[in-house]
Structure 1
Amino acid sequence: MSKETPCTAVCMIDPRTSLCFGCGRTLPEIARWQEMDGAERHAVMAQLPARMAEAGLAPPATAAAAKPA
């Protein structure tokens, strides 16, 4: 059984914001992810884009697209 996850396999925590560079979750959220019910996971995932934008963190796909070739 697979649980929905925002994980992008870029598992590094930004020391300035304490958010994962890849998904925007905090360490406590990552640690509890499997125990969260679907509603709680969806609520966290809904916050991630704004959370990352506010922290000045770009999602990996956006960061890669912004780099010059």
Structure 2
Amino acid sequence: MAIEDKVRSPCVSICALDERDVCIGCQRTSDEILHWSSMNNCERKAVLVKVAEREQEIAL
């Protein structure tokens, strides 16, 4: 069985937290950013789902 490639970080090098403690560049919380490197792919994918939800909130 092939080893699954690691899910890549959504970082876009615009690193600044807003008043909700969410990065304005990648839409991850500071906690999600801090723990990203120790997350497995399943956890990373779950974060990316939350990122997509946050992006939708901004678009509204």
TM-score with structure 2 setting the length: 0.76
Q: Which runs of 5+ in 2 are unaligned?
A: 1-5
Q: What secondary structure sits across from 1:50 in the alignment?
A: helix
Aligned-pair Cα RMSD in Å: 1.8
Describe the shift of the 1:21–1:38 C-alpha distance in structure 2 as closer, same or farther (beyond 3 A).
same
Alignment: residue pair count: 54
Identify which of 10, 13, 16 aligns with 2:17: 13
Runs of 4+ in structure 1 deviating by more than 6 angstroms, as ranges, are none
TM-score with structure 1 setting the length: 0.67
Instruction: Give the whole-Å Cα distance in 1 for the aligned partners of 2:55 and 2:37.
Output: 22
